[in-house]
Amino acid sequence: MTGPGRWRAIAVAAAMAGALPAAAPAAPRMAAPAARADEGWRAEFEDICAKTQDAMALSAEELRSLVERSDALLPILERLPEPERKVFTKRLQACRNLYAFVLETKEKR
């Protein structure tokens, strides 16, 4: 991974290291929606997925970076408790796949 995607991934991983300790048996499995907002991965997720409506207007470089950032965030979301894991991995995959789809479209033109 190169470019801004790498630095964002490092920042998110560092934030998540504090948010998701390796041994966290008492982690709330039924967190209220309001409690989710402070978690580090959420800001990165929202920043990635906020651009889906503009996907066709993004450059190939921007799209590539978004795909890379999605790939870096996915393993972090996979470690979330259910049902957050199920919901947010599905949402991120949809964004990532759209960016990859548009990138492919642009490269084939």
Report whether the peptide linkage leading into residue 33 is cis, meaning its omega lies within 30 degrees of zero: no
Would you say 17 or 60 has its CB closer to other proteins? 60
Q: What is the smallest separation between the CB atom of 48 and other proteins, expressed in angstroms?
A: 9
Are 39 and 80 contacting, i.e. CB atoms less than 8 angstroms apart?
A: no
The interface with other proteins within residues 29-58 (CB under 8 A) comprises: 29-34, 37, 46, 49-57
Closest to 68 in 3D by CA, of 28, 103, 36, 43: 103
Stretch that binds other proteins, among 6-14, 19-27, 69-77, 93-101 (CB under 8 A): 93-101
Q: For other proteins, which residue of 24, 27, 60, 87 counts as binding (CB under 8 A)?
A: 87
Task: Classify residue 14 as exposed, middle or buried by CB count within 10 Å of its CB (0-12, 13-18, 19+).
Answer: exposed
Q: What angle do CA 67, 52, 39 make, to 5 degrees?
A: 70
Q: What is the smallest separation between the CB atom of 49 and other proteins, expressed in angstroms?
A: 5
By CB under 8 A, name the binding residues for other proteins: 29-34, 37, 46, 49-57, 82-84, 86-87, 90-91, 94-95, 97-98, 100-102, 104-105, 108
